[in-house]
């Protein structure tokens, strides 16, 4: 506790005192249904202990969180103070990974008890108990009436939303106090990411409460928990698998960044620009994620290129350039067995193809080039021009966009270029990774405008750290098919190793 900032200690103390104030009326109220409180408390505590001590040595997925249907069922069935009391044991026994564990458990218990009390008050104000069937369950567990559908849905939904709001408000508050984050940053994204799951848990809790009040009583209510818990388990497995995928991608990107220090941060920015293009083209959310991964991993094949070539000072020999041009094929071989990459693999292989057929490795033309590869090619060249490298200062975003438009139809797919220009014109360019010096952040109003300087721009160097002469325009670049095609510098600066 002493390791926490004074503001965080004070915030936790206030939350604990609030929870105590919420729970105390349950002990002084003669009408508290203790049998129902005890049963629901044991159920919630058991669902939390399953994560701490899984049966038969099985491993519980890391993504599985608190099992709130039991708490929300208590909100619908019990007075607010009794519902807060149900949340307390499970909150205190929940899984804690980071230290201080005791303080975190105390915080979780207080947080959930307070949220349950507030949700219970909201549910009562909207006459939820009456719509659920009227009256409270007795110690014998006998049903008290039938639920009034669909009237019961409004107070139940409001209670679930109130429960979520209190949890996210307290989470944001402790983040701001403990990590000294700005308030806007601490709360950003918390509600959006947690509202839907809490509403689903609220629906399960309502089903449990309705079954509890049915002629079949509490035993029928317990049957609701099993499929819900299995659903949470499956979702947590998916979350764990997704986390492993993201860790794999991060490890590959970090390996490339370490090997080719001159393009550090380039992969993430290409992923961001690729996503902007794909969104402008109207691709689905699933495909947007594939495009982002393709952009991030497009240069993973550099791991197969000798480091001395990636960091070489001075021009490459023709033989060295041919080795550099193998990196798309190296990358495709590296990721071919990673099933979740899907369509991204073809983008990794073909992102240096050109629509006029002078690219590599296969000299594909036009529609022969996979769509995602055409997207990544434009994003790759755009970031190469707008970030500072050892051999060149960053170009202004309008200049880079003008160069892309000049090379559209020869090197790039015009529709992809137009999509990037439109996207940046509307939202600006705000790179998510700013590891390069002088990386530009451009608001929407300034992203597209008059282009300074000459209308025909010289190309950037093709590779890494070596200074070379300016590239010729596209009509002077060798256009022979096959791997040798495109041996000259790319007009927009993507180059052999970009």
Tell me: the pLDDT tens digits for 371-386?
999 999 999 999 989 8
Q: What is the per-residue pLDDT for 431? A: 83
- The pLDDT of residue 194 is above 50: yes
Range 124-142 average pLDDT: 67
Of 174, 489, 185, the closest CA to residue 324 belongs to 489
Window from 94-98, 273-277, 284-288 with minimum mean pLDDT: 94-98
| pTM over the 0.85 mark | no
Decide: 31 and 81 in contact? Cβ < 8 Å.
Answer: no
Cα–Cα distance for residue pair 132/299, rounded to 1 Å: 59
Q: What is the per-residue pLDDT for 336? A: 84
- Predicted confidence band of residue 3 (pLDDT cuts 50, 70, 90): low
Q: What is the per-residue pLDDT for 67? A: 75
- Which region, left, alpha or beta, applies to residue 470 given φ > 0 means left and ψ of -120 to 50 means alpha? beta
Which of helix, strand or coil describes residue 412? strand
Cα–Cα distance for residue pair 483/325, rounded to 1 Å: 8
- Spell out the residues 6+ positions from residue 193 whose beta carbon is closer than 8 angstroms to its own: none
Decide: 35 and 73 in contact? Cβ < 8 Å.
Answer: no
- Predicted confidence band of residue 457 (pLDDT cuts 50, 70, 90): very low
Q: What is the per-residue pLDDT for 351? A: 95
Q: What is the per-residue pLDDT for 263? A: 64
Which of helix, strand or coil describes residue 342? coil
- The pLDDT of residue 495 is above 50: no
The whole-chain average pLDDT of the chain stands at 79
- Give residue-wise pLDDT tens across range 199-220: 888 988 998 998 888 888 888 8
Range 65-78 average pLDDT: 87
Is the bond into 167 cis (omega within 30 degrees of 0)? no
- The pLDDT of residue 480 is above 80: no
- Predicted confidence band of residue 390 (pLDDT cuts 50, 70, 90): low
Q: pLDDT over 70 for what percent of the chain?
A: 77
Which residue matches tokens 């036009």? Answer: 366
Range 146-169 average pLDDT: 90
- Spell out the residues 6+ positions from residue 25 whose beta carbon is closer than 8 angstroms to its own: 79, 81
CA-based R_g, the chain, Å: 29
User: In this structure, which long-range contacts are made by residues 450-453, counting pairs with CB atoms below 8 Å and at least 24 apart in sequence?
Assistant: 450/398, 451/398, 451/399, 451/401, 451/402, 452/396, 452/398, 452/399, 453/399
Report residue 312 as tokens. 């070489």
- When mean pLDDT is compared over 258-272, 350-364, 453-467, the highest value belongs to 350-364
Report residue 421 as tokens. 């220009």
Q: What is the per-residue pLDDT for 443? A: 57
Cα–Cα distance for residue pair 416/370, rounded to 1 Å: 12
Q: pLDDT over 90 for what percent of the chain?
A: 38
Reported residue count of the chain is 498
């Amino acid at each position: 506790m002493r390791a926490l900032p004074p503001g965080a200690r004070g915030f936790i103390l206030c939350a604990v005192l609030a929870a105590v104030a919420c729970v105390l009326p349950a002990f002084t109220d003669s009408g508290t249904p203790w049998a129902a409180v005890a049963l629901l408390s044991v159920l919630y505590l058991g669902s939390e202990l399953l994560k701490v001590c899984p049966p038969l040595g099985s491993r519980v997925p890391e993504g599985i969180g608190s099992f709130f249907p039991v708490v929300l069922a208590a909100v619908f069935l019990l007075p607010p103070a009794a519902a807060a009391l149900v949340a307390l044991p499970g909150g205190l026994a929940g899984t804690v990974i980071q230290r201080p564990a005791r303080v975190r458990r105390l915080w979780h218990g207080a947080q959930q008890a307070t949220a349950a009390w507030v949700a219970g008050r909201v549910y009562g104000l909207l006459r939820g108990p009456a719509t659920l069937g009227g009256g409270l369950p007795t110690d014998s567990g006998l049903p008290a009436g039938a639920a009034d559908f669909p009237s019961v849905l409004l107070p139940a939904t409001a209670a679930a939303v109130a429960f979520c709001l209190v949890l996210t408000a307290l989470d944001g508050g402790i983040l701001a106090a403990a990590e000294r984050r700005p308030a806007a940053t601490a709360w950003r994204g918390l509600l959006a990411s947690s509202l839907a799951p809490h509403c689903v848990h609220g629906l399960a809790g309502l089903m449990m409460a309705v079954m509890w009040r049915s002629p079949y009583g509490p035993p029928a209510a317990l049957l609701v928990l099993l499929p819900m818990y299995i659903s949470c388990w499956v979702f947590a497995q998916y979350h764990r698998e997704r986390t492993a995928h993201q860790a794999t991608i991060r490890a590959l990107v970090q390996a490339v960044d370490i090997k080719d220090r001159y393009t550090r941060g380039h992969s993430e920015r290409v992923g961001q620009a690729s996503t902007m293009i794909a969104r402008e083209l109207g691709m689905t959310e699933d495909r947007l994620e594939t495009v982002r991964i393709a952009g991030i991993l497009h240069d993973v094949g550099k791991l197969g290129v000798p480091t001395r070539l990636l960091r070489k000072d001075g021009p490459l020999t023709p033989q060295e350039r041919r080795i550099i041009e193998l990196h798309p094929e190296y990358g495709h071989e590296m990721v071919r067995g990673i099933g979740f990459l899907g369509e991204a693999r073809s983008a990794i292989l073909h992102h240096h193809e050109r629509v006029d057929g002078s690219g590599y490795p296969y000299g594909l033309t036009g529609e022969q080039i996979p769509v995602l590869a055409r997207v990544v090619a434009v994003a790759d060249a755009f970031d190469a021009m707008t970030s500072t490298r050892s051999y060149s200062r960053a170009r202004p975003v309008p200049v880079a966009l003008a160069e892309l438009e000049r090379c559209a139809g020869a090197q790039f797919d015009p529709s992809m270029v137009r999509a990037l220009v439109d996207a940046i014109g509307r939202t600006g360019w705000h790179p998510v990774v700013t590891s390069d010096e002088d990386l530009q952040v451009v608001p929407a109003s300034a992203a597209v405008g008059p282009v300074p300087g000459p209308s025909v721009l010289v190309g950037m160097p093709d590779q890494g750290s070596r200074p070379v002469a300016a590239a010729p325009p596209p009509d002077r670049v060798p256009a022979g098919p096959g791997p040798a095609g495109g041996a000259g510098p790319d007009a927009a600066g993507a180059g052999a190793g970009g």
